[in-house]
Amino acid sequence: MPSILDSLALGFSVAFQPDILLYAFLGCLVGTLVGMLPGIGPLAGISILLPATYALDPTKAIVMLAGIYYGSQYGGSTTSILMRIPGEASSVMTCIDGYAMARKGRAGAALAIAAVGSFVAGTFGVVLLTLVAPPLANFALRFGPPEYTALLVLGLVFLAYMSSTSLIRTLLMACAGLLIGCIGIDVMTGHFRYSFDIKELGDGVGIVPVAVGLFGLGEILSTPSHTVADKVATPRLAELMPSREEWRQSAAPIARGSVLGFLVGIIPGSAHIIASFLSYAVERRISKRPEEFGKGAVAGVAGPESANNAASTGAFVPMLALGLPTGPVTAVLMAALLIKGIAPGPQLVTEHPEVFWGFVASMYVGNLMLLALNLPLVGLFVTVLRIPYAYLYPLIVMFCIVGVYLVNNSVVDVWIMLIMGVVGYVLRKLDFDPAPLVLGLVIAPTFELSLRQSLVMSNGNWTIFLSPQRPIAATLFAISAALLALVALSWLSRRDWRRGMAEAEAVEK
């Protein structure tokens, strides 16, 4: 059996072929643009370009489509930082501190940190994919429905734990997201739920219309142009590189985001989104200056941007090694290979080594290409800030409409985006953070399916989640309980009910 180095050498001999390099570059370029354009995520980009790969051989097709996927993770940060619009869902967390950095005149630094963090994490992810894919994939294989349920609950509790608003507000938003995720046909019984005879709602509410509405249009509605004229930063060339202090502050979050992102990435679900949320939570929680989060913390950009890139690479582990798609993007990528008569899975490495290792090697090259593409072009992207806001925001509104429409060619999706924009405006007024709603929506299908499967498996015995036979689920639930206890303790210590009542009475007077 060839060693990993021999196999990698074979991979690089494939990846360095001029036509493979060209398709990797095309994928990375399109991916960066797809990530930047609000409303057009990697799934839409890959779906739109899937027919264009029919004439290509399998290696070129998968190299180009995967380049779009991980390239979009680089590009997604740009619009988040410059416009506070998530170019794609995994960049939602970057909006918070990335945009705050931009408002402080550090847009260039935020973009550079995001690009370097993405490169480090992407390359780290590929190294791990190369070296430790089999054991990690084996670990993910041990996850059954109870473990998924526990993991998703932990994700929500993590979010509540790190939230800047109160626990009750975060949980209400998560509930709203999970409820929106319940709209459509129930996959287990076929019941239509809350579709109100609108046939387009039968497939459920998409993540893109909700995320673009809440974070894109909602932001525009909350920002009258006369308030922006003096606030928009127009950084000079000298401001485009991070300072030594900013590099220092970003190093550890990039490292943590890379590890966390890869580990979350191998678990099925919209891992790159969850990874960025979790990374933000971790960085905020361990920071010595948590009050800076939301106001332009470097770690709030470096961590999530690294995590989403590492997760997008990690998602390839179960797809390539086990033939398990971890989400809709990897499902489409698998479909691209299946169309060519190549089945991803354990046999892929032995039966089509040139495809497997060529693809892995192309990701090393692709990450270098993306760094080269994104860093020199940072200045070009920053010029977007120089467009007067009175011209820029109508363009963003139009991009939101076009981007959301193009995902499914559905006007209903655009209406949903519009409604969510208004909801986002109202939520800001009422001091709610919309991020838990998006996370709830993302995890809703997997959460419901795994919860119900767990209950069916145990014949209705809910202790399956805490059973010694399920140590992973029990551990994850124990961590969730510990986090909730910590939240409760800090709430009790700061807010005695008598003091709270006295404060309330004082306010009332």
Partner 1 sequence: MILRRDHVAGGVFALAGAFVLAASGDLPFGTLGSPGAGMLPVSLAALMTAGGLGLLAQARRSPALAELSWTDLPHAALVAALAAAAVALLVPLGFALTGTLLLFILIFLIERRPLVPALAFSIAATGVIHTLFSILLRTPLPRGPLGF
Where do the DSSP E strands lie in 191-282?
Answer: 192-193
Closest contact distance (angstroms) between CB of 128 and partner 1 is 34
Burial of 215 (0-12, 13-18, 19+ CB in 10 A): buried
Q: How far is the CB of 5 from partner 1 (least distance, A)?
A: 40
The kind and range of the H/E element at 184 are strand 184-185
Is residue 394 part of the contact set for partner 1 (CB under 8 A)?
A: yes
Per-residue x/- marks for partner 1, 20-59, CB under 8 A? ----------------------------x-----------
The partner residues of 327 in beta bridges, in order of sequence, read: none
Binding of partner 1 by 492 (CB under 8 A): no
Say which amino acid occupies 314. Answer: G
Closest CA to 149 of 414, 361, 450: 450
426: part of which helix (H) or strand (E)? Answer: helix 411-429
Among residues 13, 222, 287, 408, the one that binds partner 1 under rule CB under 8 A:
222
From 53-61, 84-92, 265-273, 497-505, span contacting partner 1 (CB under 8 A): 497-505
Distance of CA 251 to the CA centre of its chain: 20
Neighbours of 496 (CB within 10 A): 10
Min separation Cβ 36 and partner 1, Å = 12
Among 399, 443, 474, 483, binds partner 1 (CB under 8 A): 399
Examine residue 199 and tell whether it contacts partner 1 (CB under 8 A): no
CA-to-CA separations, 421 to 202, 347, 397, in angstroms, rounded: 22, 47, 10
Report the distance separating Cα 418 and Cα 423, nearest Å.
Answer: 9
- Regarding 219 and contact with partner 1 (CB under 8 A), the answer is no
From candidates 4, 411, 478, 492, binder to partner 1 by CB under 8 A = 411
- Give the Cα separation of 250 and 256 in Å (integer): 10
How far is residue 138's CA from residue 61's CA, in Å, rounded to a whole number? 27
Nearer to partner 1, 172 or 479 (CB): 172
- Which x/- pattern, by CB under 8 A, does the window 431-470 give for partner 1? xx--------------xx--xx--xx--xxxx--------
Q: Distance from CA of residue 368 to its chain's centroid?
A: 21
Interface residues for partner 1 in 65-104 (CB under 8 A)? none
Binding residue (CB under 8 A) for partner 1 from 402, 466, 472, 481:
402
Q: How far apart are CA 392 and CA 147, in angstroms?
A: 45
Cβ distance to partner 1 smaller for residue 61 or 302 = 61
Residues in the chain: 509
How is residue 100 written in tokens?
């705050």
CB atoms within 10 A of CB 244: 8
Cβ nearer to partner 1, comparing 356 with 393: 393
Task: Out of 19, 186, 203, 351, name the contact with partner 1 by CB under 8 A.
Answer: 186
Contact footprint for partner 1 (CB under 8 A)? 48, 168-169, 171-172, 175-176, 178-179, 182, 186, 188-189, 191, 193-194, 217, 220-225, 227, 390-391, 393-395, 397-399, 401-402, 405-406, 409, 411, 414-415, 418, 421-422, 425, 429-432, 447-448, 451-452, 455-456, 459-462, 500, 503-504, 507-508
